[in-house]
Structures are given as structure tokens and as C-alpha cells.
Amino acid sequence: MGRRCCLKPKVGEGFDLPEGNDGWSDWTWFHARAEYPQRFTVLCQSPVHYAGHFYKGRMVACAGDDCPLCAKGLGVQARYVFSVVEWESRRVGLLELGRGHALSIQDWMAQNGGLRGLSFEIERASRPKQSRLDLRLVTDAQPVFIHHLEGPDLRRAVESTWRRQASQLLSEVRSGEVAPAQGSVSPKGAEQRSA
């Protein structure tokens, strides 16, 4: 009989992160649901933003002057990413919103005294990703666990996401696998690039 391999994990005590874990990968991208409203509290002082195209059911960052999606006539949208914690799951992650919702949050900041700690509820009107998104300010007392949480580095998180996804998607576009979107329109306030 062969020798058994016996892994001995390093076990620690308390609430610190395990050895070798910087907490970087312990977050998720949140997506609004239609089944029930989700409550979030913002963990960042300021969102990050980028210009993107809706392509193959998801947002893809605009590549700038040489962007193949702009060349194909897909509209550019302003996108804003916030680090948040979801109340129910207690998960920390990122939430991406369009310009209109980002401006609503900016208006609520005055009532809150800043962005960090602002709470809101979000819900999709129906199941499709492109259905209306309802956003409501929450003034209820926040759960205690929220106050010590920190979100991921937003710029690093968004840039790493695009590095993983964009190269494959953009190579498909450059090979001619995309047709211009029907009725593609940029939201108010986002610049429309011409091919």
C-alpha cells in the first residue's frame, strides 16, 4: 500500500486573514435581481468610472481611439463602479451602475454627509438584464457588522476584470464576429464616439 499524503493546513485563531491571503480575492460582482430587493451599503469614498459598450450580454470597456466596438457602431455608456456590502449575504463586492443611478447616489451623498456608509436598495423590474433598475435610499439603521468593513481597491478590481475579459471579447470583435447593435443609444451625458 502506498503512503498517504497528509496535508497540514496552517490554522489560526481569531478574525485575522489566513497567512498568505491579502483579502484581494474575497469579493464578488453583484448583479441586481428581480426576485427581491437587495440592500447595499457603500464602502468607498468615491466610485471609479469607465466608458463601456454593451456587447454579448455584458459591459465591455471601450478601448479608446482604436476601439473595434466603436468602429462597429456600438454606443458608448458611462459606467460607475462602487465597492459595497450586501446586507443579507454580508458579502463585500462591486456594484456597477449607469450614469442616471450614479447621479441619484451623488444627490443622496449630501443627506448622508459623504458616500461611504450610504445605504440603498436595488431591484430589477423583471428578469432580463436590461430591464428597468429601481434604486431607493435606505435610512434604516445599518447592521453592526458593516462598520468595520473595507472594500477592495476599486481601480485594481476593475482593471483586473477587464484584463481577464476584454482580450477574448475584443479579439472576437476584431475578427468580425459582431454586428452593430440595433437601436444602440448612449445614455444622456455619455459621449457618443463616431467610427
pLDDT tens for residues 44-55?
Answer: 999 999 999 888
At residue 166, the pLDDT reads: 64
Residue 97 CA to residue 46 CA, distance in Å, equals: 13
Residue 147 or residue 3, greater confidence: 147
pLDDT above 60 for 22: no
Residue 119 CA to residue 112 CA, distance in Å, equals: 9
Place of cell 448583479: 31
Cβ-based neighbour number of residue 25 at 10 Å: 9
Q: What CA–CA distances, in Å, run from 186 to 47, 54, 74, 141?
A: 20, 10, 9, 37
Mean pLDDT of the chain: 79
Terminus-to-terminus CA distance in the chain, angstroms? 68
Residue 126 or residue 151, greater confidence: 151
Q: pTM, whole model, 2 decimals?
A: 0.73
Q: Is 167 helix (H, G, I), strand (E, B) or coil?
A: helix
pLDDT above 80 for 5: no
Q: What is the pLDDT of residues 107-148, one digit of tens each?
A: 999 888 999 999 999 998 877 767 788 999 999 998 888 888
